[in-house]
Amino acid sequence: MARRFRGESHQKVDAKGRVSIPALFRPVIQQSDPDWSEGKRANLVIVYGTERQNRFNVYTIDAIEQIDRRIDRMKKGSPERKYMERIYHGHSWPTQLDDDGRIQLTQKLREKLGLKDSAFFIASGDHFQIWNPETYEAEEMAKADEWLAEQDPDFDPDSLLPDLPEDA
């Protein structure tokens, strides 16, 4: 993938379940859809996962096809492959950006996260996540704050990144 998602945003959810994709995310979605061209709607896939998953992972077509190729390499009939197929194929919702850069979340999807009038979007490299804002604050931010509190005061996050090979 040529580009990655970056940033975070709170977005309004209307009564019909429509929510605007953050403007910074839209070019990545378009450029990562091999079938997209000017005037056409860009495709993406919402993976809503199991009951235990409290967020949606939203993938571009390029990213979900890469996951599909990885699943295809797993042993057919194995419990792990069946689980991955269930999550990425069965518990997913293909959708498109409308002409205003929005997607529509079905009632089932909104109920799963308890979304009412807003949603929280956060970039995660090759995909982005959609959260109920309250859940994100209570769970993810609390975990991050706890982890950071355990680090030295002069902790440098770059120290966690592995070195790149010389030819990269």
Of the pLDDT bands very low, low, confident and very high (cuts 50, 70, 90), residue 139 is confident
Q: What is the DSSP letter of 5?
A: B
All residues at 6 or more sequence positions from 16 whose CB lies less than 8 Å from its CB, including other chains: 104
Q: Distance (Å, rounded) from C-alpha 147 to C-alpha 141?
A: 10
Higher pLDDT, 145 or 15: 15
Regarding the domain with residue range 8-160, which homologous superfamily does it belong to in the CATH classification? Transcriptional regulator MraZ domain (3.40.1550.20)
Contacts 24+ apart (CB under 8 A), 27-32: 27/3, 28/1, 28/3, 28/4, 28/60, 29/60, 29/97, 30/97, 31/2, 31/3, 32/1, 32/2, 32/3, 32/60, 32/61, 32/62, 32/63
Higher pLDDT, 74 or 142: 74
Higher pLDDT, 3 or 22: 22
- Tens-digit pLDDT profile for residues 85-125: 999 999 999 999 999 999 999 999 999 999 999 999 999 99
As beta bridge partners, residue 97 has none
